[in-house]
């Protein structure tokens, strides 16, 4: 945040232009994320409410591919983003969002529709509050990054191990800790997206700004989805 104030002081009259550009950038981030969530919800509902499709996807070895494909795509996205155009990155993100919808579609068979809607509403309100705080706070929370990323790695490892152990206690711990980690990441990523834009505002590299908005949308999207899934695991009513 100190970097933001320094740039504003140096740019003088341009600070208004930077603020307007930042607003447009954040609107694109949230807009892209929202479209991704709509795609995920649509695919998840269409598959999850169809018993035949649920059986075809999750009742066969295909479920392993469906479960791990989104994780593979996230790593691929990070590796290929520099070689993609902004339009290509956006298309990749939307394809990923649709695949994520397929991956979590089982929730409609496992939980009541009412509890899914309730948890989604709680997640939306929590996410909005956390992201707003991350955007407006004067506190520099960049130091949270390393700790939170290590926490995510630990969650991934624990989740993979628990696929084979099937321990309810471990699943409960993963969900509780996961909610806290992704809540922190929501605020952290929002501030990071803001400060990254300010740091590059002088160059006005439109291609970078386009891809940066997609990467920001992906980060916030993942935080939302993971927080939603973990809250659903804790509070959702099973069928």
Q: What pLDDT score was predicted for residue 13?
A: 45
Cβ-contact 218, 100 below 8 angstroms: no
**Neighbour tally for 57: CB within 10 Å:** 20
Cβ-contact 101, 41 below 8 angstroms: yes
Whole-structure pTM value: 0.89
Cβ-contact 198, 212 below 8 angstroms: no
Token duo for residue 11: 């740019």
Token duo for residue 105: 């579609």
Residues in CB range of 162: below 8 A, 6 or more apart: 170, 171, 174
Token duo for residue 235: 């509070």
Q: Which residue has the tokens 């939306």?
A: 124
CA separation for the pair 180, 160 (Å, rounded): 19
Q: What pLDDT score was predicted for residue 210?
A: 81
Closest CA to 216 of 238, 191, 179: 191
CA separation for the pair 37, 103 (Å, rounded): 13
Cβ-contact 91, 214 below 8 angstroms: no
pLDDT tens track of the chain, all 239 residues? 555 455 455 544 456 666 788 898 999 999 999 999 999 999 999 999 998 998 888 888 888 888 888 888 888 888 888 888 888 999 999 999 999 999 999 999 999 999 999 999 999 999 999 999 999 999 999 999 899 999 999 998 998 898 888 889 999 999 999 999 999 999 999 999 999 888 776 666 667 778 889 999 999 999 999 999 999 999 988 86
Give the 3-state secondary structure of residue 90: helix
Alpha-carbon Rg for the chain, nearest whole angstrom, is: 19
CA separation for the pair 182, 190 (Å, rounded): 12
Question: Residue 223 burial (CB < 10 Å; 0-12/13-18/19+)?
Answer: buried
Token duo for residue 158: 């624990």
Q: What pLDDT score was predicted for residue 11?
A: 47
């Amino acid at each position: 945040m100190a970097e933001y104030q320094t740039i504003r002081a140096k740019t003088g009259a341009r600070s208004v232009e930077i603020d307007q550009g930042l607003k447009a950038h954040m609107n694109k981030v949230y807009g892209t994320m929202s479209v991704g969530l709509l795609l995920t919800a649509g695919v998840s509902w269409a598959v999850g409410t169809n018993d035949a499709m649920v059986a075809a996807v999750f009742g066969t070895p295909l479920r392993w591919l469906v479960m791990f494909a989104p994780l593979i795509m996230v790593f691929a996205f990070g590796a290929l983003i520099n070689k993609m155009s902004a339009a290509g990155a956006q298309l990749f993100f939307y394809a990923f969002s649709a695949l994520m919808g397929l991956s979590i579609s089982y929730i409609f068979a496992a939980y009541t529709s009412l509890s899914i809607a309730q948890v989604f509403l709680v997640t939306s309100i929590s996410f909005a509050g956390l992201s707003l705080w991350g955007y407006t706070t004067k506190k520099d929370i960049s130091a949270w990054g390393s700790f939170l990323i290590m926490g995510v790695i630990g969650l991934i490892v624990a989740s993979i191990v628990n696929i084979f152990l099937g321990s309810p206690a471990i699943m409960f711990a993963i969900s509780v800790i996961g909610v806290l980690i992704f809540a922190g990441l929501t605020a952290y990523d929002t501030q990071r997206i803001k400060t990254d834009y300010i740091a590059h505002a002088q160059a006005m590299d439109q291609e970078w700004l386009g891809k940066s908005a997609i990467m920001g949308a992906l980060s916030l999207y993942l935080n939302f989805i993971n927080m939603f899934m973990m809250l659903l695991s804790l509070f959702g009513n099973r069928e």
